[in-house]
Chains A and B, each alone.
Chain A
Amino acid sequence: MATLDELMELPGAMAAFEFRGSGELLEQRIAYPERINESTLDLLAHMCAANMSIATMQARGWEKVTHMKGFYPIQEFTLVGFDWSVVVSGLDRERFKDRGKASLPPFTGVVLANEKADYEAAFFTMEKPEPAP
């Protein structure tokens, strides 16, 4: 699982955050407090939780209807805004589910400035497996 500090090292990172599946913000790092504050991240986290749920439902339904595989589970959802993007990942939660664990880790998210955003690097960082205990 990528730490928030690792996510803040991504090109163009403006903020990184963790949130529950129900959307509550748990922890955050903010590079530009005059542009993004905790309240904004909290609303953003709720939006991202909703979008992850909807995308997961759509991917599930799509695979059932079309018999195409490879869309589910959703690993990352990205909202591309006018100047910023937000990337959120739930892959760690899927790994926990695969191991049969009932208690799931939080979602992670990062806000990136579009002009420097490297989406593939963000996905790679977020998909990095948890170090073995």
Chain B
Amino acid sequence: MHLLEILTMFYEKCARFVTHPNPALIIKPVTTRGLTGMSIVTDLLAKPGVIAAGEYAYRGDRFSYRGALSEEHARMASIMCRATTMGANMEGRMLEVFQPRSGLFPPRGWVVHGPEYTVCVMANVFCMLDNAKGSINGTIDFMTQALAKVSSDLI
């Protein structure tokens, strides 16, 4: 690993402990989740048709990504994915209260299928897929299995 990357990681960890106003967010395993997610992001990017993949924190504005996006666009994608994931979880909870054990709760993720690209989001990981080159079924299966044990306690 490059020295600059190590220093950046060290700085980020220190900064979170020193400046974060909410101690609850420090104790929760955001960092562990991030590391787990980045391995999945790397695996996703190696799959045919995947143009970009990333992860976002359920709380706060932290995100990381790889692929053919600028940092600003990846930030925007992360915010949109987080918002929709939170909405989907709220809807799932509502449905669960209305009809317990419906099979939709807890939500694992969601998929938006456009004419050329598909966005797959499972847990706190997102992936953009070229419809002509990638497999939607394969991507959903991979993400569902790889992220099956990710805790949703921060949602």
Residues of A within 8 A of B (CB): 14, 35-37, 39-40, 43-44, 47, 50-51, 54-55, 58-59, 62, 65-66, 68-84, 86, 113-114, 118-120, 123
Contacts and interface: CB of A to CB of B under 8 A. Distances in A.
Contacts of A86: 104
Nearest to B80: A58
Nearest to A57: B80
Given A14-B103, A58-B84, A80-B109, 6 more contacts: A40-B102, A47-B94, A51-B84, A71-B119, A81-B103, A113-B103
Contacts of A14: 103
B18 interface: no
A100 to B, nearest CB: 19
Nearest to A94: B115
B117 interface: yes
A35 B103 contact: yes
B39 interface: no
B110 interface: yes
Contacts of A73: 114-115
Interface in B50-109: 73, 76-77, 80, 83-84, 87-88, 91-92, 94-95, 98-99, 102-109
Contacts of B80: 58, 62
A50 B112 CA distance: 13
Nearest to A14: B103
A70 B116 contact: yes
B137 interface: yes
Contact of B107 (A72, A75, A79): A79
Nearest to A47: B91
B117 A119 contact: no
Contacts of A55: 84, 112
B113 A80 contact: no
Contacts of B107: 79-82
A81 B137 contact: no
B146 interface: no
A12 to B, nearest CB: 11
B83 to A, nearest CB: 8
Which of A47, A81, A120 gathers the greatest number of chain B CB atoms within 10 Å? A81
B87 A51 contact: yes
A79 B91 CA distance: 10
Contacts of B106: 81-82
A65 B114 CA distance: 17
B76 A79 contact: no
B126 to A, nearest CB: 12
B88 A40 contact: no
A65 B107 CA distance: 29
